[in-house]
Amino acid sequence: MEEMQDFKKKKQPPEWDLQKYITIAVIAFVTVCCCVLFFFLIYRYHGLTAYWQKLVAVLQPIIMGCITAYLLNPVMMFLEQYLIKFLKPRVKSEKKAKKLSRTLATGGALAIFLLVIFLLLDMVIPELITSIQGMATNLPSEINSFVAWSKHTLSGDSKIAEMLGSGLVTATNYLEQWLQADVLPQVNSYIASITTGVISIVRALFNFVIGLVIAIYLLTSKETFIGQGKKIIYAVLPPKFGNHVIETLRVSHKMFGGFISGKILDSAIIGVIAYVGLAALSMPYSLLVAVIVGVTNVVPFFGPFIGAVPGVILIALAEPVKGLYFLIFVFVLQQVDGNIIGPKILGDSTGLSSFWVVFAILVGGGLFGFMGMLLGVPTFAVIYYLIREIVAYVLRRRKLPEGTREYIQMQSVDVDTGKVRYEEEK
């Protein structure tokens, strides 16, 4: 009888424990249910959504200040590095030298930030006003020229030319009727909306100014805030888990900081190249289109194509042939950026393959709009890093290989010995 019991024990796998697996299954089921309930609580319960929107509106200056401080931190550190070398021999106290260099570096970073914003607005706003005035004045003649060009180009196929011309004429007539029937009678409501918009702009400017003040406080005392955050983490979590959280935050900062600063520099370079190229090709609205291309280039992968849509519409209405040239120019520019400029600046800051980059952009854009498209890649890179570390930890505990290549040709793992069997083994 004892031999039969020993045989049954040997037949059972050493990891077999029904109660343990039932417990794990119940915990996983409860976790999934809680996540689903939390999702519907946020997105379906209007009271909580309204409260959340109100909280975000109240915290908007702080959020803007945190984002500004995070963007200005590399510039401040760069300036501080040279200022402290200059001030140390000239100031008696090393503490005063560090404090003075931090203050000057923060002021310099803020001045550079405001100067960049002023230059962008100074370049874009006059060009935008000129472009809108030119379009309003020349739009009928440009449409007629486009119809004439299309008829001349498609003279071999008169039906397509007539359809295209009639479509443009119909669209123009519809626009005129819409302006007369819908826009003009509702001028009062539009004026009220404009007033509300002006109030919103003033409030946003006020929040922006408060955000700059908060950014100054964050930059000048960032070590104190970081130390307070670490203290809270180690007070709440055991040291082992606290170390993992701190390391994850370091990796997240490296990914986000490298990606965002690199993307901003890359977009600035692409915007300058686009303006030089468009000016050399004598394209209409060169500065406006170059700014659009540069700004939309912040979005990975899809950015140049997003910026090409309004650009080709503006240029094609003025000169149809140059619209085609612009598409070719944007395609070449995207190839240069994707294969030469982008990899040189960004390097392998995220560690994601092209498939996961596209996946992160589509999911982030679908859930959170433009900000999701912008921050989806580094956010998913952090999630990918966490999953990779957890999988590697579990595989190490089970004494299994960690490399992906070893699993491509893997057939199975022996349950008793833990030995890996590959496909070429018979």
Q: What is the pLDDT of residues 344-356, one digit of tens each?
A: 776 566 677 777 7
Residue 5: pLDDT band (50, 70, 90) is very low
Dihedral Cα 293, 299, 301, 307, nearest 10 deg: -30
Is there a contact between 325 and 347 (Cβ–Cβ < 8 Å)? no
What are the backbone dihedrals phi and psi of residue 295, each rounded to the nearest 5 degrees, phi first?
-70, -45
Q: What is the pLDDT of residues 266-313, one digit of tens each?
A: 888 888 888 888 888 888 878 888 888 888 888 777 777 788 888 887
Residue 111: pLDDT band (50, 70, 90) is very high
At position 58, the amino acid (one-letter code) is: V
Which pTM value belongs to this model? 0.65
Q: What is the pLDDT of residues 144-190, one digit of tens each?
A: 666 666 666 655 555 655 666 666 667 666 666 665 666 556 655 65
SS3 291: helix
318 or 262, higher pLDDT:
262
The region of weakest confidence among 19-28, 238-247, 326-335, 396-405 is 19-28
Q: Where are the alpha helices (DSSP H) in 154-238?
A: 158-178, 187-220, 222-236
Is there a contact between 10 and 4 (Cβ–Cβ < 8 Å)? no
